[in-house]
Amino acid sequence: MTDEIETHPSVERVRAALQHAGVDYEIRWLADGAHTAADAAAQLGVPLGAIAKSVVLRLGDQPVLCITAGDRRVNAERLVPQFGPVARADAAFVRRHTGFPIGGVAPLGFAPQDEAAPPAVLMDPSLERFERVWAAAGHPRTVLGLRFDALQQAAAARLEAFTDAV
């Protein structure tokens, strides 16, 4: 099973994007998968906040991906002044604009479908408190670990205060 995941096209896309960005990273396969940030944190033995969740929001038909610390939640109202009305995206919208299924949405390596636009990427500055952060790597059983600044660089993310503590 691990061999299938190691060569999964979505994971390979993420790996290629990381290599293209020239950042140091690590990809790990989680035997039990990670359905929540808490699951991932427990399996990795890291604080919940070190898990960088990828939350896709919808602004009309435009996607915005918010890289959010695991111990924070997106406050969409903070994005309204800049982006206008914001709504959660359903699974079909997420896959169409990122190429990833919910549960494995990586913050980079997008493969939009049907001429869909890739998401703009915003990043929660509170993630900077961790030496290493962990994000989905394109499959529900994979995570990638890297420094905060490396993730920001590789994802071409703009820092934006859009979260509240859980």
Please list the residues that pair with 59 across neighbouring strands.
62
Do 123 and 152 form a contact (C-beta atoms < 8 A)?
A: yes
Q: Residues 92-150: pLDDT tens digits?
A: 999 999 999 988 999 999 999 999 999 999 999 999 999 999 999 999 999 999 999 99
Map out the domains of the chain as residue ranges.
2-165
Q: Is residue 81 classed exposed, middle or buried when 0-12, 13-18 and 19+ CB atoms within 10 A define those classes? A: exposed
Amino acid at the residue 94: V
Give per-residue pLDDT as tens, 28-52. 999 988 889 999 999 999 999 999 9
Nearest to 82 by CA among 158, 156, 155, 152: 158
**pLDDT value of residue 88:** 86
| CB-CB contact of 12 with 104 (8 Å) | no
**Which token pair is 46?**
């890291």
Superfamily designation of domain 2-165: YbaK/aminoacyl-tRNA synthetase-associated domain (3.90.960.10)
Residue-level pLDDT at 153: 98
The strand pairing partners of 143, in sequence order, are: 28, 136
